[in-house]
A and B are shown apart, each in its own frame.
Chain A
Amino acid sequence: NAGVTQTPKFRILKIGQSMTLQCTQDMNHNYMYWYRQDPGMGLKLIYYSVGAGITDKGEVPNGYNVSRSTTEDFPLRLELAAPSQTSVYFCASSYSTGTGGTDTQYFGPGTRLTVL
């Protein structure tokens, strides 16, 4: 198993450009998550999905969009990049039976994004 894979590893965007961060997992996990990690700030949840076709906002969703058309893929879209979106983005997945909160999340290696 490759686990959770993310592409690209690095990207530099200009203000106003758009891009999609790709995330794929091969563990047949139903739950998937997108986090951003800013220096000294820990991780904050952007969006999550509890299954194909179902997505919901996390703590910091503004400026982002997601879709979940398959179990494996959970892309994150930035429509109009802003310097405030400079961060490291992590995708994660978990298998949950819906009992809430005890599941281990498996993280990808991250995408380092700079917006200039």
Chain B
Amino acid sequence: AQSVTQLGSHVSVSEGALVLLRCNYSSSVPPYLFWYVQYPNQGLQLLLKYTTGATLVKGINGFEAEFKKSETSFHLTKPSAHMSDAAEYFCAVSDQAGSQGNLIFGKGTKLSVKP
């Protein structure tokens, strides 16, 4: 069975500092990996996804993530945090057992950005 572990339920950074949100996955098949962001009182929005090919994936709002098979990781980074990045971030792996594309989510990491 596939699973996702997000290390750290809360991360706090200063504006302009590096953002690093950690995600490790478990999968018996090559995974498809996703990062979604949830702003307060809103639904989830796709930041980026890895399917095949280049292991460094660039997403919206300056975020990127690198798929590292040897470490079973898909950490999310952004070089310089902005106040508007404050949100909850979810890592997810796609359930490839069927063709339904069901997502298995981590528990989320809430990012705070201090002025």
Contact = CB atoms under 8 A, between A and B. Distances in A.
Contacts, number: 73
A32 B54 CA distance: 29
A99 B44 CA distance: 23
B46 interface: yes
Given A101-B94, A101-B101, A109 B107 contact: no
B74 to A, nearest CB: 14
Nearest to B110: A40
Contacts of A48: 100, 102
Interface string A86-116: 0000101010101111111111111000000
A81 B94 CA distance: 30
Contacts of B98: 100
Interface string B75-115: 00000000000000010001110111111011110000000
B107 A107 contact: no
A98 B98 CA distance: 9
Nearest to A105: B103
A50 B100 contact: yes
Contacts of B106: 42
Interface residues of B, number: 25
B75 to A, nearest CB: 17
A49 to B, nearest CB: 9
B36 to A, nearest CB: 8
A106 B44 CA distance: 7
Contact of B43 (A42, A50, A103, A107): A107
Interface of B: 9, 32, 36, 41-46, 49, 51, 90, 94-96, 98-103, 105-108
Interface of A: 4, 31, 33, 40-45, 48, 50, 56, 58, 90, 92, 94, 96, 98-110
28 contacts: A4-B43, A40-B108, A42-B106, A42-B107, A42-B108, A43-B90, A48-B100, A50-B99, A58-B102, A90-B44, A92-B43, A96-B100, A101-B51, A101-B96, A102-B51, A102-B94, A103-B101, A104-B46, A105-B46, A105-B103, A106-B46, A107-B36, A107-B44, A107-B45, A109-B41, A109-B42, A110-B42, A110-B43
